Amino acid sequence: MYKYFKLQENQTNPKTEMIAGITTFLTMVYIVIVNPVILADAGVPFDQVFTATIIASVIGTLWMALFANYPIAIAPGMGLNAYFAYSVVGTHGNIDYVTAFAAVFIAGVIFIILSLTPFRKKLIEAIPENLKHGITAGIGLFIAFIGLRLTGIITDHPTNLVGLGDLHSPSAILALIGLAITLVLMTLRVNGAMFFGMIATGFIAFFTGQLSFDQGFVSMPSLPEGFMVLNPITAISDVIQHSLYAVVFSFLLVTIFDTTGTMIGVAQQAGLMKGKTMPRAREALLSDSIATTVGAMFGTSPTSAYIESSAGVAAGGRTGLTSLTVAILFIVSAFFGPLVSAVSGLAAITAPALIIVGSLMMSSISHIEWGELDEAFPAFLIILSMPLTSSIATGIALGFISYPLMKIVKGKWKDVHPLVYLFAVLFFYQLAFLPH
One DSSP character per residue, 326-372 reads: HHHHHHHHGGGHHHHHHHHT-HHHHHHHHHHHHHHHGGGGGGS-TT-
Q: What pLDDT score does 289 carry?
A: 94
Question: Given this model, what pLDDT does residue 8 score?
Answer: 86
Query: pTM score, two decimals?
Result: 0.81
329 compared with 120, residue with greater pLDDT: 329
pLDDT tens digits, 116-169: 888 776 776 777 888 888 888 888 888 888 889 888 898 888 888 889 888 999
The most confident of the ranges 280-289, 323-332, 403-412 is 323-332
d(CA 30, CA 34): 6
- DSSP bridge partners of 154: 164
The Cβ of residue 11 has, within 10 Å, a number of other Cβ atoms equal to 10
Compute the distance between CA of residue 403 and CA of residue 382 in angstroms, rounded to an integer: 11
More confident residue, 75 or 3: 75
Look at residue 368 in the predicted model and tell me its pLDDT: 92
What mean pLDDT value characterizes the chain? 87
Output the CA–CA distances (angstroms, integers) from residue 345 to 110, 158, 341, 351, in the order listed. Answer: 35, 28, 6, 11
State how far the Cα of 240 lies from the Cα of 255, in Å rounded to an integer: 21
Tell me whether strands 303-305 and 161-164 are parallel, antiparallel or unpaired: unpaired
Across 214-224, b (16+ Cβ under 10 Å) vs e yields eeeeeeebebe
What's the rounded Cα separation, in Å, for the pair 192 and 198? 10
Does residue 338 have a pLDDT over 80?
Answer: yes
- pLDDT of 315: 79
pLDDT single digits (tens) 372-419: 999 999 999 999 998 888 777 788 889 999 999 999 998 888 888 888
Which is nearest to 174 in space by CA: 146, 152, 190? 152
pLDDT tens track for 175-212 = 999 999 999 999 998 877 888 888 899 899 999 988 88
The domains of the chain are located at 14-215+224-431
Query: Is residue 436 pLDDT above 60, yes or no?
Result: no
Q: What is the mean pLDDT of residues 251-263?
A: 79
- Tell me what percent of the residues of the chain surpass a pLDDT of 70: 97
